[in-house]
């Protein structure tokens, strides 16, 4: 009849991801992690953020998911975020990484505050982003400064990113490119914000097919009242990695060479490993 109608699509099982994709890290950062990115979602009463690590093959490692309570129209909560973005994270050998790029959503609440915060920190690769729906859009587009603050603003193709995320989360073979890891304590309990609620938010949306006069159109659907911040933040972290334009394979080779140099110049006696602070987790292999 030429009427508009829709078919429900796939929705990932959050309990399966919670059971299968969590592993014990041997330190704050697994040895495979080469780059850190951060994503920030702005709500009326809080900032939600996720720090993610990236390895060869675009394998991702959840490092920390957190909430900073406070009114985004006030300076205090942005001060808390600033402190978080300045932190360093350690590998098991004591080598530290800082966050290389941060994306903050400007499309909803406290837009001017987002622009101002990012403008002052562009030299640290802290950028404002705004999502654009629709199929076929690039994950990131060239930045513009067409706003009152003159801050660099990147548009991101959120549907393209969501398609990519679901493809990666469906992967069950952890040797494949794009596999997603998340941390847990050695007794299987959640750590660093990655509890069952996080995985519910990560999988709350489903991809639907809508037909209009016989033409199919794909769209993402979220149930009314459902929270999807983890899904959005993973999208923003993918955008942050795209903005960096890094070659992870090249970084991996440089990291290997750096490890060799540190061993050659180390003055510690053989058989006496450097003492380090470790998180409350033990490596079980990845």
The residue behind tokens 């932190």 is: 87
Residue 2 pLDDT > 50:
no
Instruction: Give the model's pLDDT for residue 232.
Output: 97
> Which range, of 112-121, 145-154, 204-213, averages the lowest pLDDT?
204-213
Residue 216's pLDDT band (cuts 50, 70, 90): confident
Q: How confident is the model at residue 42 (pLDDT cuts 50, 70, 90)?
A: very high
Give pLDDT, residue 275: 46
Instruction: Tell me what the pLDDT averaged over the chain comes to.
Output: 89
Task: Report pLDDT for 268.
Answer: 55
Q: Is the pLDDT of residue 267 over 70?
A: no
**Least trusted range by pLDDT, from 61-75, 125-139, 193-207, 209-223:** 209-223
- The answer to which of 12-16, 165-169, 208-212 has the lowest mean pLDDT is 208-212
Q: What are phi and psi of 145, to 5 degrees?
A: -125, 30
Between 280 and 152, name the one with better pLDDT.
152
Tell which wins on pLDDT, 264 or 168: 168
Asked whether the predicted pLDDT for residue 1 surpasses 60, the reply is: no
Strands 59-69 and 180-183: parallel
For residue 137, pLDDT over 90 is answered with yes
* Banded pLDDT at 9 (limits 50, 70, 90): low
**pLDDT at 60 (0 to 100):** 98
Per-residue pLDDT for 16 more than 70? yes
Is residue 108 predicted with pLDDT exceeding 90? no
Rounded-to-10 torsion of CA 72, 239, 155, 10: -100
For the segment 5-22, the average pLDDT, to the nearest whole number, is 79
Name the β-bridge partners of 23.
183
């Amino acid at each position: 009849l030429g009427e508009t109608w829709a078919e429900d699509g796939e929705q990932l099982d959050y309990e399966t991801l919670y059971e299968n994709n969590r592993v014990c890290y041997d330190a704050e950062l697994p040895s495979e992690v080469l780059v850190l990115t951060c994503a920030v979602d702005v709500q009326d009463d809080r900032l939600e953020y996720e720090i993610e690590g990236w390895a060869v093959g675009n394998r991702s490692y959840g490092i920390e998911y957190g909430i900073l309570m406070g009114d985004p129209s006030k300076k205090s909560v942005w001060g808390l975020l600033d402190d978080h973005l300045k932190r360093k994270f350690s590998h098991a050998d004591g080598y530290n990484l800082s966050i290389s790029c941060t994306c903050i959503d400007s499309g909803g609440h406290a837009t001017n505050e987002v622009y101002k915060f990012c403008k002052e920190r562009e030299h640290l690769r802290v950028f404002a982003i705004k999502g654009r729906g629709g199929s076929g859009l690039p994950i990131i587009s060239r930045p513009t400064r067409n706003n009152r603050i003159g801050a660099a603003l990147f548009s991101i193709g959120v549907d393209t990113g969501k398609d990519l995320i679901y493809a990666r989360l469906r992967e069950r073979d952890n040797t494949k490119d794009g596999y997603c890891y998340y941390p847990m304590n050695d007794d299987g309990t959640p750590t660093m914000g990655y509890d069952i609620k996080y995985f519910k938010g990560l999988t709350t949306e489903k991809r639907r097919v809508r037909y209009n006069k016989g033409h199919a159109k794909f769209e993402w659907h979220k149930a009314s009242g459902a929270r999807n911040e983890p899904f959005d933040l993973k999208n923003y972290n993918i955008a942050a990695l795209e903005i960096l334009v890094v070659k992870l394979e090249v970084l991996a080779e440089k990291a290997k060479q750096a490890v060799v140099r540190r061993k050659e110049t180390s003055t510690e006696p053989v058989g006496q490993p450097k003492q380090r602070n470790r998180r409350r987790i033990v490596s079980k292999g990845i």
